[in-house]
Structure 1
Amino acid sequence: MTRTFPDISISTERLVLRPFEEEDMRELVDMMNDELTVAWTSVPHPYTLDEARLWTTRVAPAERTGGRGIVLAVMEHLTHRLVGVVHLSNTNWRARSSEVGYVVGPWARGEGYAAEAVLAVVQWLFGDQRFERLELRTAAGNTASQQVAQKIGCISEGILRNAAIVRSRTEDGGWTDIRTDLIVWGLLPEDLEDAPVA
Structure 2
Amino acid sequence: MVQAVERFPPAVLTTERLVLRPFTAADAPDVHEAWQDEAFVRSAPVGYPYAAADLPTAVSWCAGGIEQRRLDGKGVGFALQPRAGGRLVGHVSLFNADWTARSAEMHYWTAPWARGLGYAAEGAAAVARWALTEIRFERIHLQADTRNTASRRVAEAAGFRFEGVLRSLEPTRAGTRADIAVYSLIRADLEPAR
- TM-score of the aligned structures, taking structure 1 as reference length: 0.88
Partner in structure 2 of residue 37 of structure 1: 40
Given the alignment, which residue of 150, 154, 162 partners 1:148?
154
Partner in structure 1 of residue 186 of structure 2: 188
Letter in 1 for 2:107: G
Contact map agreement 1:103 1:114 (CA 8 A) in 2? yes
Q: How many residues align?
A: 186
Gaps of 5+ in 1: 168-175
Instruction: Verify: 1:84 aligned to 2:90, yes or no.
Output: yes
Gaps of 5+ in 2: none
What pairs up with 1:10-159 in 2 under 5 angstroms?
Answer: 10-41=13-44, 42-159=48-165
Q: Give me the identity figure in percent.
A: 39
Q: Deviations 1:155-181 (Å, cap 9, x if unpaired)?
A: 2212222212343xxxxxxxx444211
When structure 1 is superposed on structure 2, of 48-57 and 3-12 the one drifting more is 48-57
Q: Deviations 1:101-154 (Å, cap 9, x if unpaired)?
A: 000011111111011001111111111111110101001110111111111222
When structure 1 is superposed on structure 2, of 43-52 and 2-11 the one drifting more is 43-52
SS in 2 for 1:148: helix
SS in 2 for 1:120: helix
SS in 2 for 1:163: strand
Structure 2: how far apart are the matches of 1:101 and 1:44? 13
Structure 1: how far apart are the matches of 2:52 and 2:175? 15
What is the CA RMSD across the aligned residues, in angstroms?
Answer: 1.5
